[in-house]
Amino acid sequence: MNPWYKKVLLSTAVICSLSMVSVNASAYMAGSSKAGQESLMSPDLIWKEHVRTNAKTITSVKLEKEDEYNDLKFLKSVLADKQIVSLGEASHGASEYNSMKVRLVQFLHEELGFNVIAFESNLSDTATAYSQVHQTTPEQLMKNSIFGVWQVKENLPLFEYIAAQSKTDHPLILTGFDAQGPKESFITFIKDWFAQVDPSKASGFAQTEQWYLKMNTITDMDEFNKQKKKIKEKYLALQQFVSENQDELHQAQPKQSELVPLIERVLQNRLDMLDSYHPHIINMFAGIDPEKQLQMASYERDRVMAYNLTWLAKTVYPNEKMIVWGHNYHIRKHNSTMITEHNGYDFDENPYPTMGELLPYSLKQANYVIGLFAYQGSSSKNNGEEEQVQSHDKGSLEDILGTEMEAARFIDLRDQALSSATEWLFTPRIAKAWGVLDEKMIPRDQYDGILLIRDIHPSTK
């Protein structure tokens, strides 16, 4: 079967609607005076008119002092039944993506009771950094917790807010769901904690974590497997130590009851990543089918991230509403049904599931996924270089949403019914990843809402 056709059949939005999208606009709208006008319009103009009349205007991307959020209050009804809101971004290095998300986070916390924010950053680093929120500055909290791509001026107000709220009875709890190599601040914190119970285990933990950081530098699989066997023995011994000394460890940190289950989860993450993720990285660096190895490594990383986010939502914070902060790629709902995505090497018509798709059904139902895109401007790539947003093809997602807009525009896709005015949501559209890569998707399959920002600029380190 043709891969594209197979993807369309897999799309829940299209299964029962293929016959409808070709209906002539004048016939579809027969009997309406408006239909007579629309019958003379091209489909993309009909789509743009629908967006103009139905999308919500966001007047400010940046958080204002004593912000009243008047332009965001429409989200109260949109998110009324949701436990999780996932905030994406098409690229990591855009000032306006960060500022918009900071503003959304504060609105969701203050107005809708979302009390946990989980970053696409290491569970180990974010949770232990937050446990020290009263002993550090907001800037150090940011540096000790999240990945470098988000350690930017635009995000500092969020960490100032987190620090301020931690002193109230309505804190915004910081955590994460990734499982890559830890920061030194995490290693130091756990070493000092373990030392209060067993100094030898404290030094052993620090040495094992430093060893773990070096495992990705190996390029010979036989050598990796030899070392993997030994380092897993170390982690299993540390797991046993934590299991046998839970009371003593809790007494050493009596105000941080979540630290024992946290370190248990992190140690299990290490074992999982050594078995599933690292072998693909080793083969990739060794030049063994690197494109395939990167795909498999990315899949395994997303699998573990879904595993961690599920644990946070169901076990650690089951009674709290949560905000998820990450890239569009990780949060979107059905990455395996993307018609074309870019896998880091080239365009791919057979993508793997990512975190959003790998969540259990109950969390998918409780999750509202918002993809962030940009109409024009530039952002910083992960290597720090500036990259311009490329022009948009007629009929693309950005072209349809970006006509006659103010600072930003939001459209809810979840409850849209198929019509001549909305068929662009149910049929393949191009949208730009990183502002330059034309990926093809059925928008409604991937996102519940789309937020388009008119102008972006590189973030400020």
Does residue 167 lie in a domain region? yes
Query: In whole angstroms, what is the distance from residue 141 CA to residue 131 CA?
Result: 10
Do 348 and 403 share a structural domain? yes
What DSSP designation does 39 have? T
Q: Number of folded domains in the chain?
A: 2
Residue 103: CATH number of its domain? 3.40.1660.10
Report the pLDDT value the prediction gives residue 34, as an integer from 0 to 100: 52
Do 195 and 278 share a structural domain? yes
Does residue 17 lie in a domain region? no
- DSSP strands (E only) in 275-398: 321-325, 341-342, 347-348, 367-380, 386-388
Do 174 and 47 share a structural domain? yes
Do 327 and 452 share a structural domain? yes
Do 355 and 326 share a structural domain? yes
Does residue 396 lie in a domain region? yes
What's the pLDDT tens digit per position in 354-382? 999 999 999 999 999 999 999 999 999 88
Do 408 and 284 share a structural domain? no
Do 233 and 173 share a structural domain? no
pTM listed for this prediction: 0.91
What's the pLDDT tens digit per position in 317-341? 999 999 999 999 999 999 999 999 9
Q: Is the dihedral of CA 194, 196, 199, 200 positive or negative?
A: negative
Q: Is the dihedral of CA 299, 305, 306, 307 positive or negative?
A: positive
- DSSP strands (E only) in 224-366: 321-325, 341-342, 347-348
| Closest alpha carbon to 47 in 79, 18, 77, 25 | 25
Angle at 410 between CA 382 and CA 428, to 5 degrees: 75
Query: In whole angstroms, what is the distance from residue 369 CA to residue 267 CA?
Result: 30
Query: In whole angstroms, what is the distance from residue 87 CA to residue 97 CA?
Result: 10
Structure tokens at 423: 């068929």
Does residue 304 lie in a domain region? no
pLDDT at 124 over 60: yes
Does residue 10 lie in a domain region? no
**Segments forming the whole domain that contains residue 254:** 184-298
Q: What is the mean pLDDT of the chain?
A: 92
Query: In whole angstroms, what is the distance from residue 323 CA to residue 118 CA?
Result: 6
Do 391 and 293 share a structural domain? no
Does residue 36 lie in a domain region? no
Do 433 and 347 share a structural domain? yes
What's the pLDDT tens digit per position in 183-228? 999 999 999 999 999 999 999 999 999 999 999 889 899 999 999 9
Do 172 and 54 share a structural domain? yes
Confidence of residue 255 (pLDDT cuts 50, 70, 90): confident
Mean pLDDT, residues 56-69 taken together:
94
Do 442 and 395 share a structural domain? yes
| Closest alpha carbon to 26 in 405, 414, 420, 372 | 420
